[in-house]
Amino acid sequence: MNPISIRDGHDDDREWAARLMASSDPWLTLGRGYADCLAACRYPLDDLLVAETNADRCGFVLVRPRGVAGSPYIVSIAVAPAFRSQGVGRVMIDDVVRRWTPRARYLFLCVSSFNARAQTMYLREGFVQVGDLPDLCVDGASEMLMCRRLAPGA
């Protein structure tokens, strides 16, 4: 795969990201349709970052700059099906970490208990589980609050 670059998202990227979310897990399991995903992608407090390779969009990450106790929070992250398992998620997380270090002490995210593949990636990328929110989005599943230490004293 060619190099992956990360850029700030634009309005048309928000619609693309919403379509990707609405057609992928965990959003399918969580019952989030296109309208819900588009509203999430258009939320004015979130920054949209888009991953590209060869000018093709291959993934996105939504970051809320002051999401958890004043620290950045990854609201959503997704990789297009044709680009999965090729390191796109890792590159996006690395970019978020680079952007926020040393301005923030921690980076947070939630991952669904049924999303084992994402959990594995987040653990590999240095996140640790710090909380469990049972039945938050759907009955019978938890949202696991995870964080990664960024800077010793931001």
Q: Tell me what pLDDT residue 1 has.
A: 63
24 lies in which domain range?
Answer: 5-149
- Which of 57, 59, 77, 70 has its CA nearest to residue 127? 77
User: pTM, whole model, 2 decimals?
Assistant: 0.91
CATH number of domain containing 42: 3.40.630.30
Q: How many helices (H) and strands (E) does the chain have?
A: 4, 7
Q: Tell me what pLDDT residue 153 has.
A: 55
- Which of 4, 115, 123 has its CA nearest to residue 52? 4
In a domain, 154, yes or no: no
Domain count, the chain: 1
- Work out the number of other CB atoms within 10 angstroms of the CB of residue 82: 8
Residue-by-residue pLDDT tens, the chain, 154 positions: 689 999 999 999 999 999 999 999 888 888 889 999 999 999 999 999 999 999 899 999 999 999 998 999 999 999 999 999 999 999 999 999 999 998 999 999 999 988 899 999 999 999 999 999 877 777 888 899 999 999 775 4
Q: Tell me what pLDDT residue 49 has.
A: 98
In a domain, 34, yes or no: yes
Q: Are 35 and 44 in contact (CB under 8 A)?
A: no
